[in-house]
Amino acid sequence: EVQLVQSGGEVREPGESLKISCTASGYSFSNYWIAWLRQMPEKGLEWLGIIYPTDSDTRYSPSFQGQVTISADKSISTAYLQWSSLKASDTAIYYCARRSDGRSLDYWGQGTLVTVSS
């Protein structure tokens, strides 16, 4: 069974750094792109970027380039999303999702709530 399990919710103050994770199981992690998406409170879905674990080829949405960093460790089947300096506007639920062979996103993590507040 394919599963993506994300790390737990986080509370940080503005200016702090953060790294959240997405651990895959039930398939060959290296062979599928992993995407990260954001959902701000009561808002729609936004695509942040995507990584191919085999070679760490990473693409970012122009809206998020330079704002976040996506990485992966194929030895432990885990993808990461990180911030170097959080802002209150980063408060949101963040999802990871697997890009299917058909190019859509077929499996999703349960989401990680990131709260940034002083």
Partner 1 sequence: DIQMTQSPSTLSASIGDRVTITCRASQSISRWLAWYQQKPGKAPKLLIYTASSLESGVPSRFSGSGSGTAFTLTISSLQPDDFATYYCQHYNNYSPTYTFGQGTKLEI
Q: Which of 30, 47, 64, 67 binds partner 1 (CB under 8 A)?
A: 47
Q: Which of 7, 10, 73, 108 binds partner 1 (CB under 8 A)?
A: 108
Rank residues 81 and 97 by Cβ distance to partner 1 and give the closer one: 97
Within residues 68-97, the interface with partner 1 by CB under 8 A covers: 95, 97
* Closest of 20, 16, 17 to residue 6, by C-alpha: 20
CB-CB contact of 72 with 82 (8 Å): no
Token reading at 1: 């069974």
Q: How many CB atoms lie within 10 A of CB 6?
A: 21
Rank residues 5 and 85 by Cβ distance to partner 1 and give the closer one: 5
CB-CB contact of 58 with 70 (8 Å): yes
Q: Which of 17, 19, 40, 59 binds partner 1 (CB under 8 A)?
A: 59
- In whole angstroms, give the CA distance from residue 12 to residue 33: 28
Rank residues 18 and 50 by Cβ distance to partner 1 and give the closer one: 50
CB-CB contact of 74 with 80 (8 Å): no
Binding footprint of partner 1 on the chain (CB under 8 A): 33, 35, 44-47, 50, 52, 59, 61-62, 95, 97, 99-100, 102-106, 108-111
